[in-house]
Each structure stands twice: as structure tokens, then as C-alpha cells.
Amino acid sequence: MTREVLFLASAALGSIAMVAAYLWLFHGEVSIKEVGSTAAAMMFGAYLGRIWGRNEAHG
């Protein structure tokens, strides 16, 4: 349980930081709505990939 919480927390913070940096560098402004929605989609994809990878490893 603790490992899953740490994974989600690191995925959330990393996603938010990457999206905000991209928006600031290439568009000159950061929209909280865009950062939140894109980071949520990235977290969802990362977690599904983690589950899929775990299932593939165990056959």
C-alpha cells in the first residue's frame, strides 16, 4: 500500500512539474486547468502501465 501511494505521489509531482515547465518555456504562460488535466492523464496512464506491466511479468 505504501509503495502505491509513493508511486502516485511521485507521478503526480513529476507530471505537474513537467507540464508546467513545458507550458512556461514554450507558451510563456501556465494554466492551472491545463496543468491539472494533463497531469491527471499522465498519472492515469502511468498507473495503468504499472498494472499492465505487473500482469505481464506474472504471466
Q: What is the pLDDT of residues 9-49, one digit of tens each?
A: 998 999 999 999 999 999 999 999 999 999 999 989 998 99
pLDDT at residue 13 in the model: 93
CA-based nearest residue to 46, from 3, 15, 1: 15
Count of the separate structural domains present in the chain: 1
Which residues constitute the domain of residue 44? Answer: 2-57
Task: Kindly report the pTM of this predicted structure.
Answer: 0.76
Helices (H), 1-59: 2-27, 32-57
pLDDT at residue 32 in the model: 94
pLDDT at residue 59 in the model: 66
User: Cα–Cα distances in Å, from 38 out to 3, 8, 17, 18, 34?
Assistant: 23, 15, 11, 10, 6
pLDDT at residue 16 in the model: 94
